[in-house]
């Protein structure tokens, strides 16, 4: 058998490593159900499920925190009352026109923004795809880093210089490190994304790309204000609340600060 690369490199994500390693059972292997009734205050026992409760909106966060404290990192919310629904538009919203990455490009002040390598068009004929690319007046990487940190509210940035000024910028909210080569092929000098690996940083300088990891939460959060505004307009009878407990979890320690 001839190996082009070490098999360990194929286990580049936590999900794949969990799949490939030896079988083990621990709290973080479990999924815990949490039953929510938005008409309820506090919590109420479920007679048919001993030890289980319906939680009101005022106590559901406490229930989730109890799971996290116990090492159970995966919770499914069963919205038990009044036909409530949980809607997860994660990757769809990344790719959609006006979604995560259009909002990220706007937050960074990019102009002439286009979909990088479109995957198709929507019902209105608008191209859609994962990444966005736009232009800005040429600026040094150091000046751009300061703008990224300020505009996205990042507690810190990880970056590697490709030795070029910042002019044509690609953005990919969340974990888009696998798209680095596509960004380079499209003629971009800078890529703002998150969750980058050591080897992606290591390869960036020889490839001539300014690589900026601005954090998973900060690169996706700009779309939330637009979602809130849309829902308030379309459903004026509802109270729309953006979560205040969901925020950047990664902290940075810098000597002297």
Mean pLDDT score, 228-233: 94
**Residues near 217 by beta carbon (within 8 Å), at least 6 away in sequence:** 246, 247, 248, 249
Integer Cα distance of 174 and 160 in angstroms: 18
- Residue 237: the pLDDT is 93
211 near 116, Cβ under 8 Å?
no
The model's pLDDT over 28-69, given as tens digits with 9 standing for 90+, comes to: 778 788 888 888 899 999 888 888 899 998 998 888 888 888
Integer Cα distance of 220 and 224 in angstroms: 8
Integer Cα distance of 256 and 130 in angstroms: 39
Tokens of 64: 């989730």
Q: Is 107 helix (H, G, I), strand (E, B) or coil?
A: helix
- The rounded mean pLDDT for the chain is 87
**Residues near 83 by beta carbon (within 8 Å), at least 6 away in sequence:** none
Integer Cα distance of 13 and 43 in angstroms: 37
- Residue 199: the pLDDT is 96
pLDDT at 9 over 70: no
Integer Cα distance of 209 and 202 in angstroms: 11
- Residue 84: the pLDDT is 63
- Residue 109: the pLDDT is 97
| Selected residue with higher pLDDT from 6 and 210 | 210
| Selected residue with higher pLDDT from 105 and 30 | 105
- 110: Cα within 13 Å, side-chain hemisphere: 27
**Residue whose entry in the numeric block shows the structure tokens 């116990």:** 70
The model's pLDDT over 119-163, given as tens digits with 9 standing for 90+, comes to: 999 889 999 999 999 999 999 999 999 999 999 999 999 999 999
- Residue 6: the pLDDT is 55
For 127, counting Cβ atoms within 10 Å of its Cβ (0-12 exposed, 13-18 middle, 19+ buried), the class is middle
**Residues near 253 by beta carbon (within 8 Å), at least 6 away in sequence:** none
- Residue 70: the pLDDT is 87
Mean pLDDT score, 208-235: 95
Q: Is 71 helix (H, G, I), strand (E, B) or coil?
A: coil
DSSP 9: G
Report the predicted TM-score, pTM, of the whole model to 2 decimal places.
Answer: 0.70
Integer Cα distance of 33 and 216 in angstroms: 26
DSSP codes of every residue in 231-251: HHHH-TTSPP---SS------
The model's pLDDT over 66-95, given as tens digits with 9 standing for 90+, comes to: 888 888 877 766 665 556 666 767 778 999
Task: Specify whether the backbone of 236 is left (phi greater than 0), alpha (psi in -120 to 50) or beta.
Answer: alpha
């Amino acid at each position: 058998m001839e190996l082009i690369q070490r098999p360990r490199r194929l286990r580049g994500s936590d999900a794949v490593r969990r799949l490939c390693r030896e079988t083990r059972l621990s709290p973080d292997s479990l999924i815990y159900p949490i039953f929510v009734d938005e008409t309820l205050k506090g919590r109420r026992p479920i007679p048919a499920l001993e030890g289980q409760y319906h939680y009101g909106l005022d106590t559901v966060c406490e229930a989730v925190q109890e799971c996290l404290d116990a090492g159970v990192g995966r919770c499914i919310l069963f919205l038990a009352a009044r036909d409530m629904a949980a809607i997860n538009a994660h990757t769809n919203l990344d790719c959609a026109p006006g979604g995560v990455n259009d909002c990220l490009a706007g937050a960074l002040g990019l102009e002439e923004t286009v979909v990088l390598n479109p995957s198709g068009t929507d019902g209105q004929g608008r191209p859609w795809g994962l990444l966005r690319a736009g232009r800005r007046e040429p600026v040094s990487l150091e000046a751009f880093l300061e703008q990224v940190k300020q505009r996205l509210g990042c507690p810190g940035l990880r970056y590697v210089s490709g030795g070029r000024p910042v002019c044509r910028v690609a953005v990919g909210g969340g974990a888009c490190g696998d798209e680095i080569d596509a960004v380079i092929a499209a003629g971009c000098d800078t890529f703002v994304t998150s969750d980058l690996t050591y080897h992606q940083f290591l390869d960036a300088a020889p490839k001539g790309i300014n690589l900026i990891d601005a954090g998973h939460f900060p690169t996706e959060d700009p779309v939330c204000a637009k979602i809130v505004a849309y829902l308030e307009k379309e459903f004026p009878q509802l109270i729309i609340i953006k979560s205040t407990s969901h925020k950047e979890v990664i902290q940075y320690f810098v000597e002297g600060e």
